Amino acid sequence: MESSPDALSFASPSAASRQAERLAIRVDHLAKCFHSPQGTVHALKGVSFEVQREKVFAILGPNGAGKTTLLRILTSIMRPSSGTAFIEGFELGRQNTQIRQLIGIVAQDNHFDRYLTVWQNLTLHARLHGMEKPVYEKRIQALLEQVGLYERRNDYLDHFSGGMQRRVALIRALIHRPRLLFLDEPSTGLDPAARLEIWETIQTLKRETTVILTTHYMEEADRLSDQVMILNYGEVMMIGTPQELKARISPPNMYELTLTEPLAEQYQQRLAPWISQVSVLDRDALHFHLNHREDLSALMAQIEPAHLKSLGLAQADMETVYLTVAGKSMATFKAGSGDWKDSEDSAR
């Protein structure tokens, strides 16, 4: 028996709602314009993306790309000019009260009451969220113990290092068990040791919450993120896992040869007829462009098996990905300025 149109229309929303249940954020054609006597600034130009639950989603982009504007809109601080966004199924602009109960925010600056202790600052935040005393005291203690600061709970934050203050800011945002945590450049200004501590904390967070972070640190995005979105001139330039982005930007026919002995210069001369753009990475490693793919067999024949440790396609790192995209408009980027693999779909 054929399905009626009514049956089809009934099944379709069910599939859509199942997919929506897995989404923490869905953004459709979000735009923001600022008007002034000097003219109109388009901070966001129809941005669309989705974020899965219990993932770390990083937003990269140069200054002025629209990152802060996007975060302000998603956290209901600012209204968009057009477009829609749903946070855990609640529509932004229509259900902001419900959304604010589900999110935690860690801004770039650590705003604390310097006349209150760590414990008092955290208690105040919990009470503002309407939490009962037995509940929030147990929660605060557990979080402080998790980051190794419980013994310092009665100290004033003026006596804390930048890294310690950042950890307290994270705890404050987590007290009410938010479904989403927004981190605006969480490790900016921290020394390497403090930055690693923050990274370790963020990696544990996604067990119970979705993390949205903006960052200028390529290593931070690479190590922490399940997905990365590169934003520039208010547009989504690229989006995908760190591995996907690196694969898309990697130039074709670039290889890396690692040897078991320090013979890189010797092999550079031996392989010269088949390779170009050669870089000696170390005395035992070469980075080069293979002139023709069909030359790979001939090249392999020149390498003695005892000297071969590894040979494979060289992949761009996140810094290369970022530098390829940052500073370019969407039109310039699609025109072939960097996305070798998939220029027509770079804004996916």
**pLDDT value, residue 86:** 97
Are residue 170 and residue 212 in the same domain, yes or no?
Answer: yes
Which residues of the chain are modeled with pLDDT < 50?
A: 1-16, 337-348
CATH number at residue 281: 3.30.70
**pLDDT value, residue 266:** 92
**pLDDT value, residue 329:** 65
Task: Tell me which residue range forms the domain holding 263.
Answer: 251-313
**pLDDT value, residue 28:** 97
Q: Which of 246, 279, 299 is the last residue of a domain?
A: 246
**pLDDT value, residue 136:** 96
**pLDDT value, residue 18:** 54
Q: Residue 339 falls within a domain, yes or no?
A: no
**pLDDT value, residue 186:** 85
pLDDT, tens digit, 9 for 90 and up, residues 69-103: 999 999 999 999 999 999 999 999 999 999 999 99
**pLDDT value, residue 147:** 84
Whole-angstrom distance, CA of residue 223 vs CA of residue 108: 20
Q: Residue 292 falls within a domain, yes or no?
A: yes
- Cα angle 309, 312, 317 (rounded to 5 degrees) comes to 115
Are residue 109 and residue 165 in the same domain, yes or no?
Answer: yes
Give 85's strand partners: 27
Are residue 239 and residue 255 in the same domain, yes or no?
Answer: no
pLDDT, tens digit, 9 for 90 and up, residues 206-217: 778 999 999 888
**pLDDT value, residue 139:** 95
**pLDDT value, residue 167:** 87
Sign of CA dihedral 207, 208, 213, 216: negative
Are residue 148 and residue 79 in the same domain, yes or no?
Answer: yes
Domain tally, the chain: 2
Whole-angstrom distance, CA of residue 278 vs CA of residue 72: 46
- Cα angle 200, 219, 66 (rounded to 5 degrees) comes to 105
Q: Residue 9 falls within a domain, yes or no?
A: no
Are residue 239 and residue 278 in the same domain, yes or no?
Answer: no
